[in-house]
Structure 1
Amino acid sequence: MKKLICAAGRLILRLLFRVEVRGMENYRAAGPRAVIMPNHVSLLDPALAALFIPDEPVFAINSLVARWRWVRPFLALFRTWSVDPTNPFGLKGLIEELKRDQHCVIFPEGRITTTGSQMRAFDGAAMLADKTGAVLLPLRIEGAQLSHASYLRGRFPVRWFPKITLTFLPPRKLEIPPEVKGRRRRAMAQTFLQDLLRDAAWQVRDSGRTLFGALLDARRLYGRRRVIAADIGRKPVTYDGMVRAALALGDLFGGRFNPGERAGLLMPSSVPTAALALGLSRLGHTPAMLNCTVGAQNALACCRAAEIRTVIGSRRFVEAGKLGALVEAMESAGLRFLWLEDEARALGLRAKLTAWFQARFTTPETAGGPDDEAVVLFTSGSEGTPKGVALSHRNIVANRDQLMSSVDFRPSDVVLNAMPMFHVFGFVVGTIMPLLSGMYTFYFPSPLSYRAIPLVAYDINATVLFGTDTFLYGYARSASPYDFYSVRYVFEGAEKLRERTSRMWSEKFGIRVLEGYGTTETSVVSLNTALQCSAGTVGRVLPGLEARLEPVVGLEGVGRLFLRGPNVMMGYLRSERPGVLQPVEDGWYDTGDIVRLDELGFLSIRGRAKRFAKIGGEMVSLTALEEEMERLWPGVRCAMAVVRDERKGERIILVTEKKDASREEMTAHLKAAGYAEVAIPKKLLPVGKLPLLGSGKTDYPALDRLASETAGAAE
């Protein structure tokens, strides 16, 4: 009778939800003793696990749930063990079951998700594995969160009978050194468990799609009429509208380029820019996002590196940003300009109708595949001539999937993206990620509008904000305490989060700023999240990304960070070898950053390898010195420059915006902080303003030139 009821249940679920079970080879590889850990997304999950997991595992069930009348009849059909989550001794019986080579099923999150993402994982499953030597076997349930049996109605587009898949992921042994005991062991066990669930969410995602293909998938999931973007023109755009714009603008400009030719874009953060980038990449014309803040010389170097002959620009943007001299220099160098406003006037009714028909009734073809070039971004030039960074479709979609597996971003979120699209933070995180995830994004053209951006956040009820430390500090100083009332997440990257910025956001708005770390070459690498956060670090490395530390001579407890994973770039384009892609050697990208990795996996950036000075045989971190100056003179910008020294090799000069800076005060502070005499700057150079890049970072090549000229003049 029991077998008949179970068979009928499986048949009904397969007919209604087209249930598919994957990864059975992983289930068999787990062996006789395993803790099976499903994620918990709906009321259907216990039935799915009970009916589709082979054999007859023991189910851990909350003792309160076991008392519900409608649950009791089902308990008679399966082997269950009632567990009181408030009683640490409640797992003893399950431990004995596992020791008899049984499979045990336990939902680590303990409750159904209300965010659509991973909830907190309790360490019970890890403790079971730790006490019995059992393996941990993640089971990922996908699709049930879109059913009416989930708790996501109003947040996700739920429907009656979505397709459901159950995927067994590779089993893992609990990897904690035996000498670790007590609270440290429990903390490491919980982190390990949280990572397993996060990695399972990442592993079932399909990153093998083009950007335009992923956009069409998002439209199918969230609905054609879902409003997903707007800019300062205040014209909301739906998924259908974005697809139409991408098709129309891509076809309009695509015919002006040779096959495979890269197109330079000198455009503001806006809906047309996003649509144009997607439309060009669909046709195989890689959009190269030009940085308008690097000056004419570096801009021309970028164009040489990527072999850009034609630039698509916006007249309004050039006029508003006073970029006439830059455009004139580029035209004088032989670059052809196509102006969006002029070309758009030629977009006739026939072209618009064609785009509408394609968007509505067909699946537009995409040139190339997921491993082809999708966009070229350029490094900031903070350490020399900018380099072109070629990112594939897979690089970008994978990084989006990594972020969605780690943070509870929701389709109900409202993203305020003021980061420029020529920056990887603004393009991948602020534009592509929300666009492919059903989130509404408001594009603001300049991150420097410190007074306007808080008002926009208040006006659109923003819930997610991205920015650098410089920009976030500027917003916080200008904003009313209520301007960010609706914001639930503020993510900071591209430069170190300073204590004054973090403190101001906490005290003025009650918001914790979450610091992350990334590079143009990899997009986001690590991130602090609501689930896993450690102050003073840049968070934990995202799933699917391997990190390796190589020792650095003269430094202990840290290493040079190398990365390998699906989000690591295709390669560099350099102005010395125009158009020649220099691939990443063996797939490992050398970040050039010196980092520390603690036992819980949190990264701390100690500085760039190039931001260490070698003085008298000692390695001195310039980044650490700058942090000490921030503690000594809060709110004052300071930076360390390095000049050649005939006797000691290099010499450090403190460049500061503090006019009355005292070397005696600085020396006393650094000595009290434990710095040796050799590490203390021998000279102070007060300036009106430090040289900055468009992203808000310090322009170190310009700083070093300034210091060298000053030192040379003094000698």
Structure 2
Amino acid sequence: MFRALFRTEIRGLENLPPPGTRMLIAPNHVSLIDGPLLHAVLPIDASFAVDTGIAKAWWAKPFLRVVKHYTMDPTKPLAARDLIKLVAAGEPVVIFPEGRITVSGSLMKVYDGTAMIADKADAVVVPVRIEGAQRSYLSYLNSSQIKRSWFPRVTVTILPPVKLPVDQALKGKARRNAAGAALQDVMIDALVKNAMLDHTLFEALGHAYRDRDTGKVIIEDALGTKLTYRKLILGAQVLSRKLEDGTAIGENVGVLLPNSAGVAVVFMALQNSGRVPAMLNFSAGPVNVLAAMKAAQVKTVLTSKAFIEKGKLDKLMTAISAEARVVYLEDVRASIGIGDKVKGLLAGTTPRVPRQANDPAVVLFTSGSEGTPKGVVLSHRNILANAAQALARVDANANDKVFNVLPVFHSFGLTGGMMMPMLAGIPIYMYPSPLHYRIVPELIYQTGATILFGTDTFLTGYARSAHAYDFRTLRLVIAGAEAVKDRTRQVFMERYGIRILEGYGVTETAPVLAMNTPMANRPGTVGRLSPLMESRLDPVPGIEEGGRLSVRGPNVMLGYLRAENPGVLEVLPDGWHDTGDIVSIDPAGFITIKGRAKRFAKIAGEMVSLSAVEAIAASLWPQAGSVAVSIPDQRKGERIVLLTTEKNAERSAMQAQAKAIGASELTVPATIMVVDKVPLLGTGKTDYVTATTMAREQASPPERVVA
């Protein structure tokens, strides 16, 4: 019946352990048909653990009459004793660890009682993913959350069995909690493993249109442009034919555009035609932009006359025009006729140029905060994996709205702010500048946005300008790119009742490497590693706790492009990326960043974290911007210079604060420079190159100077 009505496909039957194995089968729970479906497709006679509340429901009773089942109450651990004995005796048991059908489309809370059963019975957990049934009218999702169907195609995937990694030394409640956290990770990993990673971005957009299009506007911008999935795909089909002229399949094509609905169409049009968007940072200045173009061998740049005029980028365009062909989208639009639109409509969601998941999908560029920008080549799989990793940890659906103020030349703005919500059916509002501190809060209020991505610098600016009611609809504020100050957290919580979730990303990991989540949040850390990622800490001389972090996983880039060797992909050794960050990882997996390897000063043989110096300054002067850099010193090797906007900053205050918190005397800067503003890049990150140059130019004996 299920094969006929739902065209059910079963994958991974070979992963089921042999009969007699102690096993607990753990599926996700998306609809009322999940239990009968598993009973029908599993080739073994398994018992079902059923919540006492569900067992009393009229619709469950017909199913329970024909299957072996045991009722259990998630709030009463003693009720699990019989199930532990059953599993320990080699009887396969099916338990839905969430204990309820999802109401968000994402993984719900996993009850640790299920994990306790597996742990005490010394059993393996067999993760099972049910996909498609959430679109049926027997799910708890409504038509505003997902595109519904009476008989959607359903896939049941059985993944390899896993033994919960629980420290044998743990006892009692601590062991139960650890087992529960381990099972939550198993379920999250299963979600990401089962995600559609073997597709291209344009194919993934087609799947999102098929499964998630509720008729809502998926992208809108400050110009009033509104695009549904249908309009976005049609626009990409029409534009792709026009952009093919003068470019070749696989060629890197420069994109110089602000956050708008238009940049989404251009990006997907290039994906459709097999070209690779190279996202140019228009705030980086001519020298860095030309270096980026040289690294990626960009010969064609797509931009807009209106944007160049409003952004006053004439000087930049003069430099670009000398090195590449410039295509203005206004001219392309004028050449589109009715015939082009008809062809685009007939093309549907079929890509014009077939590509593979491991082919390059985009070239982003490192910020240049510590030197010349490098090209970071991300594949389709990299971006799809990172979107799946983030969605597995963050509860978001089509009832949300992402306010994307981070530029799409920034990996956080591209993946987190545009691609992830676009592929998950979450509406997006694109705004061109994160620096409009008064306008952004008002637009968040007007649009009813629920999710905001930002940096500490930008969030602080919004908090200063926003009305207490402007953020009433926000439920998720996720910060990255720089450390979140305690003062910023405090303001958002006290004034707006919002908890900031801090994450950690680098362009090379597409970008989310770790993040705190509503279910696993530890302030002061950047959260736990993204699903399916591996980490390695290499020792650093002078650093006693932690080490230099390297990572590997499905979201780690294909490699670098450098201006010194244009167009040649520099692949990673064995897939490991050296982040250059010094971190520590606690037993629960939470990562604390101690600083960049390059952001440690070696003073008289001792390693001193410049981030620690900045933290002391922030605790003293929370309203000021401060950045610490190191410059050569003939006597001690290096010395620290603090640039700060605090007009009354004194070295003696830093000394007193360091002493009060038990910090080393070496964390007190040799020189304090009072500046009008701390140099920032367009992404909101500190511009350390400029800051170091300023410090060198003003170099003087240890004391306080005014720049």
Measured against the shorter chain, the TM-score band is over 0.9
1:26 to 1, 12, 15: 15
1:153 to 132, 142, 162: 142
Higher mean displacement: 188-197 or 54-63: 54-63
Are 1:619 and 2:619 counterparts? no
Structure-1 residue corresponding to 2:555: 567
Aligned counterparts of 1:679 and 1:437: Cα–Cα separation in 2:
45
Opposite residue 708 of structure 1, the aligned amino acid is R
Aligned counterparts of 2:666 and 2:606: Cα–Cα separation in 1:
8
Higher mean displacement: 82-91 or 635-644: 82-91
Higher mean displacement: 109-118 or 20-29: 20-29
Structure-2 residue corresponding to 1:298: 288
Aligned counterparts of 1:212 and 1:602: Cα–Cα separation in 2:
34
Aligned counterparts of 1:29 and 1:71: Cα–Cα separation in 2:
29
Secondary structure of residue in 1 paired with 2:390: helix
1:284–1:128 Cα change, 3 Å: same
1:78–1:261 Cα change, 3 Å: closer
1:63-90 deviations in Å (ceiling 9; x for gaps): 3333445544543422222223332211
Shift of the alpha carbon at 1:196? 0.8
Aligned counterparts of 1:193 and 1:502: Cα–Cα separation in 2:
30
Are 1:594 and 2:582 counterparts? yes
Are 1:409 and 2:396 counterparts? yes
1:467-503 deviations in Å (ceiling 9; x for gaps): 1111111112211111122222111111111112211
Aligned counterparts of 1:421 and 1:388: Cα–Cα separation in 2:
15
Structure-2 residue corresponding to 1:526: 514
Shift of the alpha carbon at 1:632? 1.4
1:190-248 deviations in Å (ceiling 9; x for gaps): 11011011111111112111111111111111348542111122131111211121122
Structure-1 residue corresponding to 2:567: 579
1:713–1:133 Cα change, 3 Å: closer
Shift of the alpha carbon at 1:677? 2.3
Structure-2 residue corresponding to 1:630: 618
Aligned counterparts of 1:259 and 1:713: Cα–Cα separation in 2:
57
2:225 to 226, 235, 240: 235
Shift of the alpha carbon at 1:51? 2.9
Structure-2 residue corresponding to 1:344: 333
Aligned counterparts of 1:615 and 1:676: Cα–Cα separation in 2:
12
Shift of the alpha carbon at 1:655? 1.4
Structure-2 residue corresponding to 1:547: 535
Aligned counterparts of 1:595 and 1:286: Cα–Cα separation in 2:
34
TM-score (norm 1): 0.95
1:153-194 deviations in Å (ceiling 9; x for gaps): 232112111122222211111212211223332221111011
Structure-2 residue corresponding to 1:480: 467
Are 1:119 and 2:97 counterparts? no
- Equivalent residues in 2 for 1:240-251 (5 A)? 240-251=230-241
Aligned counterparts of 1:143 and 1:257: Cα–Cα separation in 2:
39
- Equivalent residues in 2 for 1:178-217 (5 A)? 178-217=168-207
1:687 to 669, 675, 679: 675
Structure-1 residue corresponding to 2:37: 48
- Equivalent residues in 2 for 1:43-442 (5 A)? 43-68=32-57, 71-154=60-143, 155-223=145-213, 225-331=215-321, 333-359=322-348, 363-442=350-429
Aligned counterparts of 1:451 and 1:317: Cα–Cα separation in 2:
21
1:97–1:493 Cα change, 3 Å: same
Are 1:15 and 2:32 counterparts? no
Opposite residue 457 of structure 1, the aligned amino acid is I
Aligned counterparts of 1:517 and 1:67: Cα–Cα separation in 2:
45
Aligned counterparts of 2:390 and 2:649: Cα–Cα separation in 1:
43
Opposite residue 399 of structure 1, the aligned amino acid is N
1:272-292 deviations in Å (ceiling 9; x for gaps): 111112112322321111111
On the 8 A contact 2:670/2:702 being kept in 1, the answer is no
1:327–1:54 Cα change, 3 Å: same
Aligned counterparts of 2:149 and 2:559: Cα–Cα separation in 1:
42
Shift of the alpha carbon at 1:699? 0.8
TM-score (norm 2): 0.96
On the 8 A contact 2:627/2:644 being kept in 1, the answer is yes
On the 8 A contact 2:106/2:395 being kept in 1, the answer is yes
On the 8 A contact 1:615/1:679 being kept in 2, the answer is no
Structure-2 residue corresponding to 1:698: 686
1:32-69 deviations in Å (ceiling 9; x for gaps): 21111111111112212333333332322223333445
Aligned counterparts of 2:578 and 2:527: Cα–Cα separation in 1:
19
Secondary structure of residue in 1 paired with 2:29: coil
1:208–1:55 Cα change, 3 Å: closer
Shift of the alpha carbon at 1:352? 2.6
Secondary structure of residue in 2 paired with 1:77: coil
Aligned counterparts of 1:364 and 1:122: Cα–Cα separation in 2:
42
Shift of the alpha carbon at 1:30? 8.3
Aligned counterparts of 1:349 and 1:85: Cα–Cα separation in 2:
61
On the 8 A contact 2:13/2:158 being kept in 1, the answer is yes
Secondary structure of residue in 1 paired with 2:428: strand
On the 8 A contact 1:39/1:108 being kept in 2, the answer is yes
Point out where structure 1 has 5 or more consecutive residues left out of the alignment: 1-11
Shift of the alpha carbon at 1:31? 5.4
On the 8 A contact 1:229/1:440 being kept in 2, the answer is yes
On the 8 A contact 2:147/2:214 being kept in 1, the answer is no
Are 1:646 and 2:634 counterparts? yes
On the 8 A contact 1:640/1:652 being kept in 2, the answer is yes
On the 8 A contact 2:133/2:154 being kept in 1, the answer is yes
Aligned counterparts of 2:424 and 2:666: Cα–Cα separation in 1:
52
- Equivalent residues in 2 for 1:599-614 (5 A)? 599-614=587-602
1:372–1:669 Cα change, 3 Å: same
Opposite residue 248 of structure 1, the aligned amino acid is V
Structure-2 residue corresponding to 1:5: none
Secondary structure of residue in 2 paired with 1:521: helix
Aligned counterparts of 1:237 and 1:363: Cα–Cα separation in 2:
19
Aligned counterparts of 1:167 and 1:346: Cα–Cα separation in 2:
48
Identity of aligned residues (%): 47
Aligned counterparts of 2:44 and 2:365: Cα–Cα separation in 1:
55
Higher mean displacement: 674-683 or 508-517: 674-683
Runs of 4+ in 1 over 4 A off after TM superposition: 712-715
Aligned counterparts of 1:479 and 1:349: Cα–Cα separation in 2:
46
Aligned counterparts of 1:660 and 1:225: Cα–Cα separation in 2:
56
1:331-388 deviations in Å (ceiling 9; x for gaps): 3x433322122332222332233223323xx724324322111111111001101111
On the 8 A contact 1:570/1:584 being kept in 2, the answer is yes
Aligned counterparts of 2:224 and 2:665: Cα–Cα separation in 1:
58
Point out where structure 2 has 5 or more consecutive residues left out of the alignment: none
Secondary structure of residue in 2 paired with 1:16: helix
Corresponding pairs, count? 701
Higher mean displacement: 26-35 or 477-486: 26-35
1:679–1:627 Cα change, 3 Å: closer
Aligned counterparts of 1:343 and 1:655: Cα–Cα separation in 2:
47
On the 8 A contact 1:228/1:441 being kept in 2, the answer is yes
